[in-house]
Structure 1
């Protein structure tokens, strides 16, 4: 098959890449696939394990339901090997600097294996850096994360259906999540770790659903060596035997690049984008858990593809100008 040689913009100095994708998860690899198929020169920079590394499987991902997170990413990289314009670098991007002469950016990167910082130039940037979960400071939460402590019933509800479940949270967050989780089991208890913050009307609704509330302070979670939850221990009262607990954890952006680049950050901490993934900073796009969209791997992949299409079309308009 003959190699396509896309037109280069002659009215501006060249850059090392057409696009640099910061983040090698579902959103980043999906975007790289779309841009590789557009014959774009793409660099994917990734560092550290993915957010879902502790999970035994990625679920609700069409044709890949139950695949281990690391295997899903391996398959993604393997597919991208067919596109010679896509390359990878295991490095942490530490700075994005606008370059007026090229109307693009210079990226500074710290290699994962050490050594001096590296730089490259690019016309566009796609942030797919994701988020980090800040779990409650309760013994056992982090140790059981991804197996006995779960964040999404759409991702993990099927695996624990019909089991003894708990929901950790208070106020509207806990009240809403426990009703959702009750779809997967009739034995669900809300643990609020202090005053529930639920109205009497809300309590009545929970009682009609057969959901009880434990308001004692949670002391610790106890589980098995394989990461399965055994029981929730409170500061007072009897321990609660449970097979899994769901919670909506606090989150923060895994990278500060969007904020440092002047992108608009929402009150939720997510990076604002338009419907095509463009942030408030021209030439910088975002996709995946970085944005306010629902947090599932398949949705992140779709967002990555959508942002890549918009990015490629912006590049094409520049290529055809002048």
Structure 2
């Protein structure tokens, strides 16, 4: 279930002036989704530019998983391959941070932090998401390695080890079930007591899962290796901590353009925020599209890449129709 956030009125874009580079499509975000969208467009001989800050969501991870043919590939290496493929079709990647955007009748104007501007017929926002973690010292420092959230991204790597599920909300029992498939050395730590009520404790006991009262005071580690979780009554040894992050879309451009966002709920609890879009990536704002985690907070790399491919194809089809109409009108 989701809760709508109405779109703000769009800010009209001024006419394109000299110094503003006109392109068919500007893609903001050079992760798996953005590069996939741009490559599809470049292969269709569209003038496409990708603006990227070089800080993907999965940068802390050792490798990409559940992506057929790319298992274990470092995130940086995957993106390097993607950039090379895009350049081979004359697509361009520009190291820049997009900080502002406005929209006119037939262009979207985007300004970078260094002052460069682009006037695009269509804009694809693929800036990904930000994982907001509970305020427990040590969680952020081990995020993506010893501290994980997804069994399909990291589960195999922590199999048969001591794993602590940090229960902060309703996702904890779900995570305990998934990671319990991978190790029988599982502990659920009730950081938020309401997340592990007596019915949940009975269920966990029946499954052979140990529960410990919290809250967690800090995540411990030595030389970058996670060793346990400190509580008021002692330390719970662990090689991995599982926690549910709150996921938020990352892009200042979305608010500028008045794109609609929504809260994603499960069991009456808001677990993420995302941009509303139809299955093709079309947002509530004309000429503005989204792909990847900015629209699908729970998407894995392979899913984000597939979404980018789909968006690129649909945007190209839109451009084809626009070009045909312009020729017929002329």
Residue 285 (structure 1) shift: 0.4
Structure 1 gaps, min length 5? 1-12, 112-116
- For 1:191 and 1:273, the matched residues in 2 are separated by 37
Q: Does 1:307 align with 2:311?
A: yes
Q: Does 1:134 align with 2:110?
A: no
Residue 295 (structure 1) shift: 2.2
Q: Whose strand proportion is higher, 1 or 2? A: 2
The 8 Å contact of residues 248 and 297 in structure 2, kept in 1 or not, is answered as no
1:230 aligned residue (227, 231, 238) = 227
- For 2:256 and 2:210, the matched residues in 1 are separated by 45
Alignment of 1:1-322 (within 5 A): 16-84=22-90, 86-100=91-105, 103-111=106-114, 117-225=115-223, 227-235=224-232, 237-267=233-263, 268-292=272-296, 294-321=298-325, 322=329
Higher relative contact order (CA 8 A, sep 6+): 2
Deviations 1:49-91 (A, max 9, x none): 111111111111111111111111111111112112x112111
Q: Secondary structure at the match of 1:88?
A: strand
For this pair of structures, how many residues does the alignment match? 301
- For 1:245 and 1:82, the matched residues in 2 are separated by 41
User: What's the Cα RMSD here?
Assistant: 1.8
- For 2:313 and 2:160, the matched residues in 1 are separated by 42
Structure 1 range deviating more: 283-292 or 187-196:
187-196
Residue 200 (structure 1) shift: 3.3
- For 1:232 and 1:294, the matched residues in 2 are separated by 26
- For 1:196 and 1:181, the matched residues in 2 are separated by 21
Q: Secondary structure at the match of 1:263?
A: coil
2:13 is aligned to none
- For 2:167 and 2:200, the matched residues in 1 are separated by 14
Q: Secondary structure at the match of 2:165?
A: strand
The 8 Å contact of residues 148 and 223 in structure 1, kept in 2 or not, is answered as no
Residue 170 (structure 1) shift: 3.1
Deviations 1:226-271 (A, max 9, x none): x321111102x22111110111112222212123211110113200
Q: Secondary structure at the match of 1:57?
A: coil
- For 1:28 and 1:194, the matched residues in 2 are separated by 37
Q: TM-score scaled by structure 2? A: 0.87
Q: TM-score scaled by structure 1? A: 0.89
Residue 158 (structure 1) shift: 0.6
